[in-house]
Amino acid sequence: MAYEQLIVDRDGPVATLRMNNPNVLNALSRTLTAELMDALSGLASDAAVRAVVLTGEGRGFCAGADLGALEAPYRRGERPDLGGFLRDGYNRLIPLLTDMPKPVVAAINGVAAGAGVSLALACDFRVASEASSFSLAFVKIGLIPDSGATVLLPRTIGSARSLQLALTGDRIDAAEALRIGLVTMVVPSDALASEATSLATRLAALPTAAMGMTKRLFRETATMDLRGALEREASAQAEAGATEDHLEGVLAFLEKRPPTFPGR
Ligand code: T3D
């Protein structure tokens, strides 16, 4: 399907989504938000896709909410309901990334601000270019961190650093993001696409069903006690043990050959 502000490329089992609203650093317009939701929903149920890459066109990854959309109503003296806007938009978009039953790699090509940071945090891997930077810019316009940032950021880098970034809105560069664990890898700008694709290609050859279940378990057990988590693991392991991937993994090990996982 052709979109206005999103480019979808397929290379075998890897799908790459490129946010394409570069004049505003891929700010999340209503169009881009809706297109991301549509594309991610389709990829979630497409068994031929076994890994997803999310990146941006131009010099931005994503500058968060499209502030241009607020100009007309604010100048008219209207105050739109931002809570309703979140419930209809980002609150539906973010779970499509976190709950994607296959790995999602954010290839952060430039600045990520506001909900753009949340978008990166909702992905499973964050590979950043040396040109990337990060700002929880919400506070600079009198807003609170949203789109899951209040949960996803502390879970990733700890509460003290999260609060510092959230309360100051300070922009940090790629090296600092790596140091505090906000991203897991920093690469030269011209190597970003190939590094992210090569990671996604490697992930796409692994047992997709088990990876989907692993993501789900990490989400579910985050709020459980040990006994609850042990039981959840047992029932998920029963599911994993019934997959073709598990059978192939064990047989390949016993036959001393590399496995070929069918992804189910
Ligand atoms: O409001 C709601 O709907 C509720 C939900 C809120 C969730 C949020 O995400 S709130 C946070 C929103 N985002 C921001 O506040 C970030 C705003 N942008 C910036 O602070 C800076 O642009 C950056 C730090 C991201 C990058 O700075 P820089 O100097 O590299 O670029 P620039 O020159 O500021 O931006 C380039 C263009 O993109 C510029 O347009 P122009 O002058 O070339 O015509 C700029 O206005 C535009 N732009 C950047 N961010 C946004 C944007 N246009 C609309 N919305 C943006 N978020």
Q: For the residues 232-259, what does the mean pLDDT come to? A: 98
- Whether pTM > 0.95 for this model: the answer is yes
Residue 22 CA to ligand 1 centre (angstroms): 11
For residues 6-27, average pLDDT: 98
Instruction: State pLDDT tens for residues 93-132.
Output: 999 999 999 999 999 999 999 999 999 999 999 999 999 9
Any atom of ligand 1 within 6 Å of the Cβ of 67: yes
Atom of ligand 1 minimally distant from the CA of 70: 1
Task: Please check whether residue 147 is in contact with residue 138, taking contact to mean a CB–CB distance below 8 angstroms.
Answer: no
Ligand 1 contact, 114 CB (< 6 A): yes
Question: Does any ligand 1 atom lie closer than 6 A to the CB of residue 82?
Answer: yes
pLDDT tens readout for residues 177-229: 999 999 999 999 999 999 999 999 999 999 999 999 999 999 999 999 999 99
pLDDT bucket at 89, cuts 50 / 70 / 90: very high
pLDDT band at 29; cut points 50, 70, 90: very high
Check if 229 has its Cβ closer than 6 Å to any atom of ligand 1. no
- Ligand 1: does its nearest atom lie under 6 Å from the Cβ of 117? no
* Residue 1: per-residue pLDDT: 73
